[in-house]
Structure 1
Amino acid sequence: MTPPDGPRRAVLLTVDDDPGVSRAVARDLRRRYGERYRVVRAESGDAAMDALRQMKLRGDLVAVILADYRMPDMNGIEFLERAMDVYPGARRILLTAYADTGAAIDAINVVDLDHYLLKPWDPPEEKLYPVVDALLESWLASDHRPVPETKVVGHRWSARSSGVREFLARNQIPYRWYLSDQPEGTRLLAAAGCDGLRLPLVIAPGGEVMVEPTDQDLATRVGLSTTAAEEFYDLVVIGGGPAGLGAAVYGASEGLRTVLVERTATGGQAGQSARIENYLGFPDGVSGAQLTDRARRQATRFGAEILTACEVTGLEVGGPARTVRFADGSAITAQSVLLTTGVAYRRLDVPGVDELTGRGIYYGSALTEAAGCEDQDVYIVGGANSAGQAAVYLSRNAKSVTLLVRGGSLEASMSHYLIEQIAAIPKITVRTGTEVSAVHGSDHLEGLALRERASGRTELVDAQRMFVFIGAAPRTDWLDGVVHRDRHGFVLTGPDLHSESGVPAGWEPDRPPYHLETSVPGVFAAGDVRSESAKRVASAVGEGAMAVMLVHRYLEGL
């Protein structure tokens, strides 16, 4: 009879209002089961219920509950009935005197009692342990698997619930999702004292409750670093996509005091890819999440510091120092800065889309929503690699997948290998020259109006899931007036900065900018945020590594 492995032992709970009896029960239980189970005792039904709620929030397992029948305010049967709402799988024993055996027999039907024991039960070897042994055996044979420490209770069509799940998933935080109207979700809401009007409810490790938490609240409570350990670094990398992670690995491995700052989750758009099949060294392909996890662990192993849920709002230049400012008012300073903020998917400019975003309409893969696509007709807007990868992935479970492409073909924007894969999957339909002209739904997406661009003909289709991949825009507004950008907002570097004099206006060093250096000496850019970049995972990683080499050159010249 081996209890489940894990940092916490399953609980045997005993409640009796007589302190002497309570201690005796706990003593006998610890003598036989103390090495394998945690014995918790309470001296009233209310105290025991409080203990159960706290254990529920922490994700503890309760194997057996022993309750005395005669207790003031709440008798043993009433207590066990309430305990069933919190831990329906726990085995239940009623401790009773001979005079109360009638009530104990009635309780078998009322609270599905597993056993009742007459007091006193001496010797326990004959009257207590065989009963508890049998119930533990039965409990262990049932589905008693522990719940991951982080739990999320929300509504199927809640935008913030979707955002919380995506944040946790992309940051590799194990969690379990409960719908608020399902039994276990209802139990967790009750244990947290939440009325369910404000969702999602997130229960962090240790049982701490958060209602509608921000990303920074989540990051802090689930163990992600959100505050810099130092005030000064050799290199600050802003953005945790492939370019940023590549720079963090090479910077830290080469001895630079390196910190990577990420707004949401490492991986960027590549981290959301269901499968990347053209990345060197992975002939069978690799998911964006796997590649991101490996890169993140590699960077931290070399000593890079990674901050999550930190939004950068400003960059200041003062002599040789480069100061990075955050939304919360804090700041860090470094000798050099690398911009790897990547790009964000452009918003679909159709009435009603903003109101239904997170409620059936999603930007990017939103892989946490894949399970909800089972046996549904799914629509994907876009014709580049990210849209193709999502179509292939979602076609595994969806009833059908329709790619809506504004252009006349996929060849201009999608890799050949993906076009061939899509053509070989019967569930996927490609509709070129087609765009979304309207969306319909009240609390969630229910339908789309599709317009053929050539004829202007409009068709209404039923839809509950739509994923949008329509080009990318750089997140560089906060750099306005600091570094030079092109008309689309992408950062200019190296040769693209050259004016008639060969250097950008205001450039002070007696050398031209390095290949990945911006108009500000010591500030570099790599990956998708850089003007004229290749927009591929491999090239972004390469630019991140190259940027570190150029950082070394810059630092040597100070």
Structure 2
Amino acid sequence: MGKPVLLSVDDDPGVSRAVARDLRRKYGEDFRVLRASSAAEGLDALRELKLRGDAVAVLLADYRMPQMNGIEFLEQAMDLFPRARRALLTAYADTEAAIQAINLVDVDQYLLKPWEPVEEKLYPVVDSMITAWRESKDSAVDDVRIVGHHWSAPSYKARDFLARNAVPYRWYSVEEPEGQRLLAAAEARPGDVPVIVTPAGTVLRSPTPTELAAAVGLDVEPRTDFYDLVVVGGGPAGLGAAVYGASEGLRTVLVEKRATGGQAGQSSRIENYLGFPDGVSGAQLADRARRQAQKFGAELVTARSVVALEATGSSRTVHFDDGSSIAAHAVVLATGVFWRSLGAPGCAELTGRGVYYGSAMTEAAECADQDVFIVGGANSAGQAAVFFSRYAKTVRMLVRGPSLEASMSHYLIEQIAQIPNIEVRTCTVVDEVQGDGHLERIVLRDAVGGGTELLPASHVFVFIGATPHTDWLDGVVARDERGFLPTGPELLADGRRPPGWSLDRDPYFLESSLPGVFVAGDVRAASVKRVASAVGEGAMAVTLVHRYLEER
């Protein structure tokens, strides 16, 4: 790998030369300074850099370029180099451009032309971006390589884990020459897949999520054994609690089993979240929230499973599956929900081999010119249908009910109706999935008439129901008949406090049946299943944590 790159993109030749000249003057010894005269030329350069394994530290793009403006360029550049720091060059303070840049591509800085004197207006901005890039843990692991088989469920899980945790990687099939060369160099066999090769040359064969997370630089161990606040779950509610807890001075740790963002992190586009008029992907929203929590000092521990919660005097202890534990004054449970299993014959055997739960956006390229099926009729299913319609020949939405109106937002229904290659099939259920080693066919049944139909299929994405995994809390906090966690007023049956309640007050609004343990987001009984409400509950839970701590 050569020197990291500073890339400027501007269609004005004079400005382009001036930017490159000023950047080389100060940074030329440590960085390679490149320039492009159009967004298309810039993207071509980035693709070449990606293939060669080079790192890109900073991107500077002029806002007003023909064909593709600076915002559109930076948005596409993020797919290639998500950890590069980004700045927009503007000729004047363009409020609309600034709002678009914030909403779409999380621009780090703005530079107004002209930027003289460079010592005051240019270099401090670039210095801060270079510092942020160097401090990013992911910047050291942008050459993780995965060797696997497309229809291998463990290979899919490894790719999905890295993608959802915003860890850049390169994928090589065992069937292509480079994949075979990597296997030979690692002294591994095709049966060992997935084989992970880190930039340091460490080889992992079929690693566990914790082993994989540690190898690519994610934090898997808490730094201490006692905190003010432990947040269990890294979806919107958990991230909201972590941001507000850490920003208000609480020693906060967030523990996540898979990846921050939860189900929302898999959404290809969230268009009804406040402050994002052009929409935002779940991955981008989760990445911003993750960085925001870390900015305020919250610890984020990934790939760790919480298996028990215990009241130990005035403390609350969280136990991990490896026998270790951490304790805190208070706990926020934000474990969210999981997609319910499809349950049709063949699904268990073909999960990760054509049958996927959630969007599985790493499969998008493989859906090109294919017939894709989306099972479900709520917003997540609709967002996935819109996303995969850009790649697939056809997208068929399979909805058990008679229409989408009862479960999907109106704006999304209208959007789906305008996309010609999306077909909505109501009153339809999946009877069976079939295939030899991977999905090949799907059997559909008319929920009204009972007739069946056999169709070819390569990918089925399932978005049905919501199941909370709260068995590990049985006997510790109250659960309802479906496993959700009631809080506050819902615990006051006939005006009486929950059994074992030890305080001379009623539970706070988001407090569980165990004092000092709060619940936020989808796992809470009677919660509103929306990203905005989950974030709000996470913030509200921290306010109630403060109130709880003050009364101790």
TM-score bucket of the superposed structures, by smaller chain: 0.7 to 0.9
CA distance in 1, matches of 2:142, 2:182: 14
Q: Aligned to 1:237, what secondary structure does the other structure show?
A: strand
Give yes or no for contact 1:492–1:518 (8 Å, CA) kept in 2.
yes
C-alpha displacement at 1:255, in angstroms?
0.2
Amino acid at match of 1:312: V
Pick from 351, 373, 380 the counterpart of residue 379 of structure 1: 373
Amino acid at match of 1:323: T
Amino acid at match of 1:6: P
Larger Rg: 1
Alpha-carbon deviations, 1:8-66, whole Å to 9, x = none? xxxxxxxxxxxxxxxxxxxxxxxxxxx99xxxxxxxxxxxxxxxxxxxxxx989xxxxx
Corresponding position of 1:5 = 3
C-alpha displacement at 1:501, in angstroms?
4.2
Pick from 179, 182, 186 the counterpart of residue 180 of structure 2: 186
Aligned ranges for residues 518-537 of structure 1 at < 5 Å?
Answer: 518-537=512-531
Give yes or no for contact 2:444–2:453 (8 Å, CA) kept in 1.
yes
Q: Aligned to 2:278, what secondary structure does the other structure show?
A: coil
Amino acid at match of 2:187: G
C-alpha displacement at 1:456, in angstroms?
0.6
CA distance in 1, matches of 2:187, 2:141: 20
Alpha-carbon deviations, 1:56-87, whole Å to 9, x = none? xxx989xxxxxxxxxxxxxxxxxxxxxxxxxx
Pick from 235, 241, 249 the counterpart of residue 247 of structure 1: 241
Give yes or no for contact 2:141–2:167 (8 Å, CA) kept in 1.
no
Pick from 289, 298, 303 the counterpart of residue 292 of structure 2: 298
Long gaps (5+) in structure 2: 6-28, 31-51, 55-139
1:212 aligns with 2:210: no
Q: Aligned to 1:210, what secondary structure does the other structure show?
A: strand
Corresponding position of 2:283 = 289
Alpha-carbon deviations, 1:251-305, whole Å to 9, x = none? 0000000000000000000000000000000000000000000000000000000
CA distance in 2, matches of 1:391, 1:244: 27
C-alpha displacement at 1:461, in angstroms?
0.2
Give yes or no for contact 2:146–2:197 (8 Å, CA) kept in 1.
yes
Give yes or no for contact 2:254–2:300 (8 Å, CA) kept in 1.
yes
C-alpha displacement at 1:499, in angstroms?
2.1
Q: Aligned to 2:444, what secondary structure does the other structure show?
A: strand
C-alpha displacement at 1:5, in angstroms?
2.3
1:361 aligns with 2:359: no
Q: Aligned to 2:395, what secondary structure does the other structure show?
A: strand
1:540 aligns with 2:534: yes
Pick from 371, 386, 389 the counterpart of residue 392 of structure 1: 386
Q: Aligned to 2:192, what secondary structure does the other structure show?
A: coil
CA distance in 2, matches of 1:501, 1:449: 51
Amino acid at match of 1:195: R
Give yes or no for contact 2:141–2:168 (8 Å, CA) kept in 1.
no
Amino acid at match of 2:202: E
Alpha-carbon deviations, 1:452-504, whole Å to 9, x = none? 01111100000010000011101101000000011100001000000234311
Q: Aligned to 2:270, what secondary structure does the other structure show?
A: coil
Pick from 408, 411, 417 the counterpart of residue 402 of structure 2: 408
CA distance in 1, matches of 2:267, 2:261: 9
Corresponding position of 1:238 = 232
Corresponding position of 2:449 = 455
Corresponding position of 1:491 = 485
Q: Aligned to 2:245, what secondary structure does the other structure show?
A: helix
CA distance in 2, matches of 1:270, 1:204: 28
C-alpha displacement at 1:397, in angstroms?
1.0
Corresponding position of 1:333 = 327
Give yes or no for contact 1:448–1:460 (8 Å, CA) kept in 2.
yes
Corresponding position of 1:29 = none
Alpha-carbon deviations, 1:198-243, whole Å to 9, x = none? 2111112301001111100001110011111011100000000000
CA distance in 1, matches of 2:263, 2:189: 36
Amino acid at match of 1:507: W
Give yes or no for contact 2:236–2:261 (8 Å, CA) kept in 1.
yes
Alpha-carbon deviations, 1:354-406, whole Å to 9, x = none? 00000000000001011110000000100000000000000001000000000
CA distance in 2, matches of 1:348, 1:485: 24
Give yes or no for contact 1:205–1:221 (8 Å, CA) kept in 2.
no
Alpha-carbon deviations, 1:74-101, whole Å to 9, x = none? xxxxxxxxxxxxxxxxxxxxxxxxxxxx
Give yes or no for contact 1:235–1:338 (8 Å, CA) kept in 2.
yes
CA distance in 2, matches of 1:340, 1:154: 33
CA distance in 2, matches of 1:467, 1:238: 27
Aligned ranges for residues 307-318 of structure 1 at < 5 Å?
Answer: 307-318=301-312
Q: Aligned to 2:181, what secondary structure does the other structure show?
A: helix
Amino acid at match of 2:515: P
Give yes or no for contact 2:470–2:483 (8 Å, CA) kept in 1.
yes
1:419 aligns with 2:417: no
Corresponding position of 1:48 = none
1:342 aligns with 2:336: yes
Alpha-carbon deviations, 1:309-362, whole Å to 9, x = none? 010000000210100000011000000000000000000111110000000000
Corresponding position of 1:441 = 435
Corresponding position of 2:250 = 256
Aligned ranges for residues 11-160 of structure 1 at < 5 Å?
Answer: 148-160=142-154
C-alpha displacement at 1:6, in angstroms?
3.2
Amino acid at match of 1:223: G
Pick from 223, 228, 236 the counterpart of residue 222 of structure 2: 228
Give the alignment's TM-score, normalised by structure 1.
0.74
Query: Measured at CA, do residues 444 and 515 of structure 1 come closer, stay the same or move farther in structure 2, by a change above 3 Å?
Result: same
Aligned ranges for residues 264-279 of structure 1 at < 5 Å?
Answer: 264-279=258-273
CA distance in 2, matches of 1:156, 1:60: 23
CA distance in 2, matches of 1:343, 1:438: 25
Query: Measured at CA, do residues 257 and 148 of structure 1 come closer, stay the same or move farther in structure 2, by a change above 3 Å?
Result: closer
Amino acid at match of 1:502: R
CA distance in 1, matches of 2:189, 2:461: 32
Amino acid at match of 1:380: I
Amino acid at match of 1:149: D
Alpha-carbon deviations, 1:105-153, whole Å to 9, x = none? xxxxxxxxxxxxxxxxxxxxxxxxxxxxxxxxxxxxxxxxx99420001
Give the alignment's TM-score, normalised by structure 2.
0.75
CA distance in 2, matches of 1:326, 1:415: 38
1:510 aligns with 2:504: yes
Amino acid at match of 2:381: A
CA distance in 1, matches of 2:314, 2:430: 50
CA distance in 2, matches of 1:437, 1:291: 36
Q: Aligned to 1:378, what secondary structure does the other structure show?
A: strand
RMSD, aligned α-carbons: 1.7
Alpha-carbon deviations, 1:407-453, whole Å to 9, x = none? 01000000000100000000000000000101110100000010001
